[in-house]
């Protein structure tokens, strides 16, 4: 296939000199210390931190396509401290101290990604400019204020603050804005350059990245019998002391895991490079990412080559957790994204959109990301990021490295470690419930536009979304 078509990010990587040529595939059986299934950011960060800690480890990463083919090379480029579970939800389950420890870990992860990129010479256009959450109605402005108040009650752990209309205009000038919320804990970056660069670093450190090698099954180990876990592929079997499943949305395609993760699609569009006069009117000069306070998630950034890359939810869940390249491009969703972006920035009139792409996110039944290692079977995992994975994958990689190496660090005691989400319902209940939830968020935004009051439906849905 032509990997340039995967996303704007892959297209840019090719233009920068990456041939996107698949690496060698597995040839025959292999014995290693750690086998990682999935050549995205979770898998590569895990390999990176393992090899940095112990260069003698035999580490292999198996990837079905090429490194970064999944969400790691298609996402919105937000390296943020966002996490699927809110502080309140975590505090109810694990206590306030644990919830705050998770927030501190996520905030620190944003800068850790930038630190490693600089130290390893990965030019991924990293710039920490924070996130601007626009308020374009009184209901949205009230939601921003409530978020500021909630953060202040937690000692301002996220540095979330309210901006007036004038303060907002100093950084970003969009249509119909009444004010904004702002947090510094986000960096914009070019995700394909990060994941592709990280794969090269892993190889430089002595790890192996084998591509075009889909895992057919992960077979857990049996300490009382046959030994450690095995990954079965068409090209051979990989035996290891530890196997790490880092397959995110594609987890649903593995035997025995069909209901563990629901693949939900998120799509993006990108403009042509925009001229200096456009940016003089709009702003975004400091690497800020942007969204607004609606319920249906949207996200955008100004790219290094002066485009706007913009995405959002709205695509349906496909029956049976199907994943298909045809689902990456939905003209209806692309049109809605273009309308939304033009509504935010009327200054875009007359400029062209050049790219549209998408891919599946991994969502657990309780909307809680998790990481862990089952010592009895030797199988570890991480995922369920709900689209917040660009930084969370780094935290997962560091945590998995500590778990494999049996290091008693603060990371292995964070509340997401060892969490097990229940399975999704069987079909057709999964299809009916998931798509009803997606439509409810769209309906909630429409309800608020009509009534100028907070949506009742959104308030009822909040506990189901981990808030």
**Structure confidence by residue, pLDDT tens digits, 330-352:** 999 999 999 999 999 999 999 99
Which residues of 25-155 form beta strands (DSSP E)? 30-37, 59-62, 78-80, 131-135
**How far from 149 is each of 157, 160, 454, CA to CA, in Å?**
12, 9, 17
Helices 389-404, 41-53: inter-axial angle, 10-degree rounding: 40
d(CA 274, CA 382): 38
The encoded tokens of residue 174 equal: 């969009």
Here the contacts of 425-430 (C-beta below 8 Å, separation 24 or greater) are 425/259, 426/259, 427/319, 427/320, 428/319, 430/259, 430/262, 430/317, 430/321
Closest CA to 411 of 113, 105, 125, 67: 105
Asked if 391 and 79 count as a contact pair (C-beta separation under 8 A), the reply is: yes
pLDDT of the residue at 457: 62
d(CA 378, CA 400): 12
Residues 6+ apart with CB under 8 A from 459: none
Please tell me the CATH code under which domain 126-188+264-361+443-465 is placed.
Answer: 3.30.9.10
Alpha-carbon dihedral sign for residues 276, 17, 390, 264: positive
Q: Say yes or no to pLDDT of 428 above 80.
A: yes
Q: Say yes or no to pLDDT of 467 above 80.
A: no
User: Over the stretch 392-415, which tens digit does the pLDDT of each residue have?
Assistant: 999 999 999 999 999 999 999 999
pLDDT of the residue at 155: 87
- Which secondary structure element, helix H or strand E, spans residue 243, and what is its range? strand 236-245
Mean pLDDT of 38-67: 98
pTM score, whole prediction: 0.96
Please give the share of the chain, as a percent, with pLDDT higher than 70: 97
Q: Where are the domains of the chain?
A: 126-188+264-361+443-465
């Amino acid at each position: 296939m032509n990997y340039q078509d995967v996303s704007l990010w892959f297209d840019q990587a090719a233009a920068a000199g990456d041939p996107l040529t698949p690496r060698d595939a597995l040839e025959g059986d292999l014995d290693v210390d750690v086998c990682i299934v999935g050549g995205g950011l979770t898998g590569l960060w895990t390999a990176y931190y393992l090899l940095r800690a112990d260069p003698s480890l035999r580490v292999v990463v198996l990837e079905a396509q090429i490194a970064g083919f999944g969400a790691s090379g298609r996402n919105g480029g937000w390296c943020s401290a966002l996490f699927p579970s809110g502080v309140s939800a975590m505090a109810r389950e694990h206590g306030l101290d644990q919830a705050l420890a998770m927030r501190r870990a996520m905030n620190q992860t944003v800068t850790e990604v930038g630190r490693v990129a600089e130290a390893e010479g990965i030019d991924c256009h990293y710039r920490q400019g924070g996130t601007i959450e626009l308020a374009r109605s009184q209901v949205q402005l009230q939601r921003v204020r409530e978020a500021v108040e909630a953060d202040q009650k937690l000692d301002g752990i996220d540095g979330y603050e309210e901006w007036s209309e004038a303060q907002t205009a100093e950084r970003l000038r969009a249509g119909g804005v009444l004010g904004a919320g702002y947090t510094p804990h986000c960096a914009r970056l070019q995700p394909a350059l990060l994941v592709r660069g990280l794969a090269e670093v892993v190889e430089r450190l002595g790890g192996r990245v084998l591509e075009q090698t889909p895992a057919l099954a992960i077979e857990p180990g049996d300490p009382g019998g046959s030994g450690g876990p095995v990954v079965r592929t068409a090209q051979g079997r990989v035996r290891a002391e530890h196997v790490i499943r880092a397959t995110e949305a594609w987890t649903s395609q593995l035997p025995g895991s069909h209901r563990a993760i629901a693949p939900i699609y998120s799509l993006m569009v990108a403009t042509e490079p925009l001229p200096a006069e456009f940016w003089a009117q709009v702003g975004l000069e400091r690497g800020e990412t942007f969204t607004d306070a609606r319920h249906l998630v949207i996200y955008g950034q100004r790219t290094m080559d002066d485009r706007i890359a913009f995405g959002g939810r709205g695509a349906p869940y496909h029956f049976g957790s199907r994943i298909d390249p045809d689902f990456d491009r939905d003209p209806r969703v692309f049109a809605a994204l273009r309308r939304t972006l033009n509504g935010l920035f009327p200054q875009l009139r007359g400029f062209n959109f050049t790219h549209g792409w998408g891919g599946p996110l991994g969502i657990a039944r309780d909307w809680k990301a998790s990481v862990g290692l089952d010592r009895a079977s030797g199988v570890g995992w991480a995922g369920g990021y709900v689209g917040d994975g660009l930084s969370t994958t780094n935290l997962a990689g560091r945590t998995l490295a500590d778990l494999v190496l049996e290091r008693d660090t603060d990371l292995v005691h964070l509340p997401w470690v060892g969490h097990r989400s229940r399975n999704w319902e069987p079909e057709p209940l999964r299809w009916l419930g998931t798509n009803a939830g997606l439509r409810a968020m769209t309906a909630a935004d429409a309800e608020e536009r009509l009534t100028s009051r907070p949506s009742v439906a959104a308030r009822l849905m909040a506990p189901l979304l981990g808030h």
